[in-house]
Amino acid sequence: MPKAHHLFAATGWTLNAAMLVSLFLIGVLMLAFGACALAAAGFIHLPIPVQDMKDLQDIPLQLILLAGATACASGVFLLALLTLMLLMTARIVKTAEADPFIEDNARRLMQIGWLLVAMQIVGLTADMIISMFPKAVSDHVQAGFDLSPVGILAVLLIFVLAQIFRRGAQMRAELEGTV
């Protein structure tokens, strides 16, 4: 069992590190969102080199900055959802060494499934919003992601796994009740 303990410890450490990186990236994207939003509103001036704007010369700068703010906002939402999923996974890993088949883990897996659904919705919504901008802008800004069969499969598998954990917790409770 010592090797399993090391595996759980390494997994927990990795999940905590990933949460810290996600929180850092959320902070960076929030600063970028603020800068884009303030510049689009005309409160500050962002020095953008002319050579970076050569493909977008006919597009008003405010529109480009608004698209950037939209992309940053969607990134903040997606990373926040990812951070919550990492937190739930870390809590499951903490219980895995003793007894993973508990009702709390089934609930956490259901929450992870719904967070995955929310990520798909946020990503698709951001892509739809960005596609409303002129093509010259939407070609240069990536705000979300496409609907993926792998993402849909992951959501379904997480929901099935949650039910397996729920049934395992029920079976354990029944077994303890009969002994």
Q: What is the pLDDT of residue 178?
A: 78
What is the C-alpha to C-alpha distance for residues 94 and 157, in angstroms, rounded to an integer?
A: 21
| pLDDT tens track for 68-114 | 999 999 999 999 999 999 999 999 999 887 888 899 999 999 999 99
| pLDDT tens track for 47-69 | 888 777 777 788 888 998 999 99
Model's pTM, two decimal places? 0.87
Q: How far apart are the first and last CA of the chain?
A: 26
pLDDT at 158 over 60: yes
For the record, the structure tokens of 143 come out as: 């705000």
